[in-house]
Amino acid sequence: MNSPSVRALLVRGMLAGLAAGALALLVAYFLGEPKVDAAIAIEEAAAAAEGSGHDHGEEAPVSRTLQATAGLGTGVLLYGVALGGIAALVFCFALGRIGRFSPRTTAALTTLGLYVTVTLVPFFKYPANPPAVGDPETAGRRTALYLLMIALSVLLAAGAVILGRRLAPALGNWNASVAGAVFFIAAVTLSYALLPGIDEIPADFPATLIWQFRLSSLAIQTALWASFGLVFGALAERLLVPAGGSREAGKEAAQPTG
């Protein structure tokens, strides 16, 4: 694939990420923020009951209203743009290398793979918790473990793809794909067992709120990835397949040049 096409796909990926971020922002505001407010209210009530000495009359540097609107919007939209750019580069590498698929199908498969490796695998080991949950002194360790799980997931997924391609001539595409998937699942399971767990949820914190917050966090990520895959697939198809082009033309456009 030539450099102009990569640049054009990168721009389209960032635009698709911006559009996906806008949808994820709506989900975060209407579904996620109420759970954050509920968790903060519980934390403040517990601190007041214990007389922890917090000065509740002192205003925070950034108001909660600003955090839930401008702060949330800026963070989610920038995250969407960055995610879109990275996903577009992954798409450029995958195009024509994972099979003779059209650009739209390749975009869908690439997005699904990134969603599984970057979101689902880390989520099931280190799920998101409300702001009132967790020891502030272990925040750095928890963040490092979460990022390590993402890195391991991506590396294991890449290894599974490579394994599948190596086995394809001997086993056929379907059996090789199954073997790669089994390797990925087994390796992720081993990683789950070896990496330390984190359990800092207070015994008196409502379990229902914990799971509502986690499900809303997963819903935000799902909305982001799904909308990105749909929008970017359409944009990539329009760029790489000429107007009125046939399905075969789309497959020819998907062939790698290097």
**For the segment 98-137, what is each residue's pLDDT rounded down to a tens digit?**
777 889 999 999 999 999 999 999 999 999 888 767 677 7
* DSSP codes, 8-76: HHHHHHHHHHHHHHHHHHHHIIIIIHHHHHHHHHHHHHHHHHHT----TTSPPSS-HHHIIIIIHHHHH
Q: What angle do CA 11, 12, 17 make, to 5 degrees?
A: 100
Which tens digit of pLDDT belongs to each residue from 175-229? 999 999 999 999 999 999 999 988 777 777 788 888 999 999 999 999 999 999 9
What is the CB neighbour count within 10 angstroms for residue 45? 11
The pTM for the full model equals: 0.84
Residue 9 Rama label (left phi>0; alpha psi -120 to 50; beta): alpha
Q: What residues does each domain of the chain span?
A: 3-49+64-135+207-253
- Side chain identity at 134, as an amino acid letter? G
